[in-house]
């Protein structure tokens, strides 16, 4: 087996995206969408279908950010989410969460069918499984809570995995797909008919009274603005203090008979699996894990090596052809923030905090925000609105986030020569495997030369020379 797979996402490597010119100058539009990933593209698609005029801008290239580095599981089963939600918010709120995600899955499937999008869609079960007796208890509680929330979940012991497990929560009729092909089709559907997409256009500032966004290519004035940038740019406190970023890793290799289904372990230090058709031989198996807080992963090269070794020993792929990392945003109460960007402004909207479940939540967000822009609410709007939530929910995580920020802002700055993030001044750390400077506070990432790769930072990093590799 090859020892060193390409450090590329399978989705990016196998998708030829259309290209779009930068914003040509000052412009006016009904809706400005900032961000060219799944949330932004689906929101723009739904608004165009409703008759709105939309301009979408992307700092880099469409589909090349977090949405191009996912494992692409479209499912309403999200680890051990339902038992936690039931205990923290009550069974009624857990049921709203389940309904939002199951209907989002159905909406994505309907969109794919209606527009005849060829994106390797496969209907398959999702499973959260246990490997220890204690985790078995977690599985049974989660299945009970998921059923109470309205999902047809059960516990299965005969899991199709090549190693011993203690059973898992099983939810049939979920799906996976090729997100690159899906986003390519959405981009082609959006562009034209009064709607425009522009790449290589950076949003620099928001004036939410004048409803204008200044970019490096001109000023966009709009009736509504959607901030779909994974972690919301322009925010420097009210939302940022309640969210944190985590990274994880994925390798993909061809396996003649991969496990059929989408699997993830109960443990926080999880392992994730799902197959992917290749179109030219044996299917791929995506194997993920090694999660850690952004900027606190130690030697990230070791993370890749550990995952590659586990994949080789467990599944014996012919070769590991691709390897990539991804980033997820977690809120303090584990429920995404979708809705008003400011508490007192119903013309600027945002979405963040999807944890590792961005496929369904990208459509939940697109539906909530597109409906709000049309003056309507959804049955899920209140649950996801960040301004309708008590800070007491997830207070422990909120305090933990504050402690990390203080450590990075004060103590590490005193002893480290590493550069300060241009978002809120936290001390970045060098990521050897990716060749980036990563911020542990809010997940901003910068290239070796200081260019912003991932927000919420907007300004480039003033970077010292790259550290010498050990």
pLDDT digits (tens, 9 = 90+) for 365-410: 999 999 999 999 999 999 999 998 765 555 455 455 455 545 554 4
pLDDT average, residue stretch 303-309: 93
pLDDT average, residue stretch 413-437: 79
pLDDT of residue 296: 84
pLDDT of residue 1: 46
Query: 395-454 sits in which CATH class?
Result: mainly beta
pLDDT of residue 302: 93
The pLDDT-based confidence of 176 (bands split at 50, 70, 90) is: very high
pLDDT of residue 239: 83
The CATH topology of domain 12-70+181-241+334-388 is FAD/NAD(P)-binding domain (3.50.50)
Question: Across all residues in the chain, what is the average pLDDT?
Answer: 91
The answer, yes or no, to whether residue 15 has pLDDT greater than 50, is: yes
Alpha-carbon distance values, 16 to 10, 51, 118, 153, 252 (Å): 12, 28, 13, 37, 19
Q: Which residue has the higher pLDDT, 468 or 240?
A: 240
Q: Which residue has the higher pLDDT, 412 or 155?
A: 155
Percent of the chain with pLDDT over 70: 91
The pLDDT-based confidence of 443 (bands split at 50, 70, 90) is: confident
Alpha-carbon distance values, 161 to 129, 248, 289, 314, 457 (Å): 10, 22, 16, 10, 41
pLDDT of residue 396: 54
pLDDT of 444-454, one tens digit each? 889 888 888 88
Contacts of range 105-112, beta carbons closer than 8 Å, 24 or more positions apart: 105/74, 105/75, 105/76, 105/174, 105/175, 105/360, 105/363, 107/363, 107/367, 108/74, 108/175, 108/359, 108/360, 108/363, 109/74, 109/175, 111/42, 111/45, 112/177, 112/182
Range from 93-97, 253-257, 266-270 that averages highest in pLDDT: 93-97
The answer, yes or no, to whether residue 411 has pLDDT greater than 60, is: no
Which of 148-157, 218-227, 457-466 is the least confident region? 457-466
The answer, yes or no, to whether residue 89 has pLDDT greater than 50, is: yes
d(CA 226, CA 374): 13
pLDDT average, residue stretch 434-451: 86
pLDDT of residue 417: 64
Q: What pTM was computed for the model?
A: 0.92
pLDDT of residue 182: 98
pLDDT of residue 465: 61
The answer to whether 226 and 374 are in contact (CB under 8 A) is: no
The answer, yes or no, to whether residue 306 has pLDDT greater than 90, is: yes
Q: Is 67 left (phi over 0), alpha (psi -120 to 50) or beta?
A: alpha
pLDDT of residue 410: 46
d(CA 247, CA 345): 32
pLDDT of residue 400: 56
pLDDT of residue 390: 63
pLDDT of residue 468: 57
Going from N- to C-terminal start, the domains of the chain cover 12-70+181-241+334-388, 395-454
pLDDT of residue 470: 53
Which of 123-127, 180-184, 399-403 is the least confident region? 399-403
Percent of the chain with pLDDT over 90: 71
Q: Check for a shared fold between 12-70+181-241+334-388 and 395-454.
A: no
Q: Which residue has the higher pLDDT, 278 or 111?
A: 111
The answer, yes or no, to whether residue 213 has pLDDT greater than 50, is: yes
Which of 91-95, 181-185, 233-237, 354-358 is the least confident region? 233-237
CB neighbour list of residue 295: distance below 8 Å, 6 or more residues apart: 408, 428, 429, 431, 438, 439, 440, 441, 443
């Amino acid at each position: 087996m090859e020892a060193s797979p390409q450090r590329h996402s399978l989705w990016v490597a196998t998708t030829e995206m259309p290209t779009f010119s930068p914003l040509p100058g000052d412009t006016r539009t009904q809706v400005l969408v900032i961000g060219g990933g799944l949330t932004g593209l689906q929101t723009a698609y739904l608004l165009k279908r409703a008759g709105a005029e939309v301009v979408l801008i992307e700092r880099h290239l469409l589909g090349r950010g977090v949405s191009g580095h996912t494992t692409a599981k479209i499912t309403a089963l999200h680890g051990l989410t339902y038992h936690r939600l039931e205990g923290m918010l009550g069974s009624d709120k857990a049921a709203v969460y389940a309904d939002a995600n199951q209907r989002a899955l159905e909406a994505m499937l309907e969109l794919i069918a209606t527009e005849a999008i060829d994106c390797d869609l496969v209907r398959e079960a999702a499973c959260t499984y246990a490997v220890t007796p204690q985790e078995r208890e977690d599985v049974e509680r989660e299945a009970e809570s998921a059923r109470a929330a309205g999902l047809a979940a059960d516990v299965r012991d005969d899991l199709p995995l090549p190693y011993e497990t203690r059973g898992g929560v099983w939810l049939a009729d979920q799906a996976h797909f090729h997100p690159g092909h899906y986003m390519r089709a959405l981009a082609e559907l959006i562009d034209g008919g009064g709607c425009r997409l522009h790449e290589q256009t950076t949003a620099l500032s928001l004036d939410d009274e004048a409803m204008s966004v200044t970019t490096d290519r001109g000023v966009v004035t709009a009736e509504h603005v959607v901030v779909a940038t994974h972690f919301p740019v322009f925010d420097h406190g009210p939302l940022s203090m309640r969210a944190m970023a985590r990274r994880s890793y994925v390798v993909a290799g061809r396996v003649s008979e991969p496990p059929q289904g989408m699997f993830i372990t109960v443990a926080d230090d999880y392992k994730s699996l799902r197959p992917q058709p290749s179109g030219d031989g044996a299917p791929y198996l995506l194997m993920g894990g090694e999660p850690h807080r952004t900027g606190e992963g130690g030697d990230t090269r070791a993370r890749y090596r550990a995952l590659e070794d586990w994949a080789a020993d467990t599944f014996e792929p012919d070769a590991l052809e691709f390897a990539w990392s991804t980033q997820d945003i977690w809120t303090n109460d584990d429920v995404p923030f979708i809705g008003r960007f400011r508490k007192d402004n119903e013309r600027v909207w945002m979405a963040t905090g999807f944890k590792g479940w961005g496929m369904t939540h990208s459509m939940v967000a697109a539906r909530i925000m597109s409906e709000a822009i049309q003056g309507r609410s959804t049955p899920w709007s209140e649950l996801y609105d960040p301004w309708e939530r008590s800070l007491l929910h997830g207070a422990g995580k909120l305090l933990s986030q504050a402690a990390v920020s203080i450590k990075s802002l004060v103590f590490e700055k005193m002893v480290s020569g590493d550069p300060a993030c241009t978002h809120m001044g936290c001390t970045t750390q060098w990521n050897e495997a990716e060749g980036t400077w990563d911020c542990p506070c809010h997940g901003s990432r910068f290239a070796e030369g200081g260019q912003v790769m991932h927000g919420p930072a907007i300004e480039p990093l003033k970077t010292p020379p790259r550290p010498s590799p050990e």
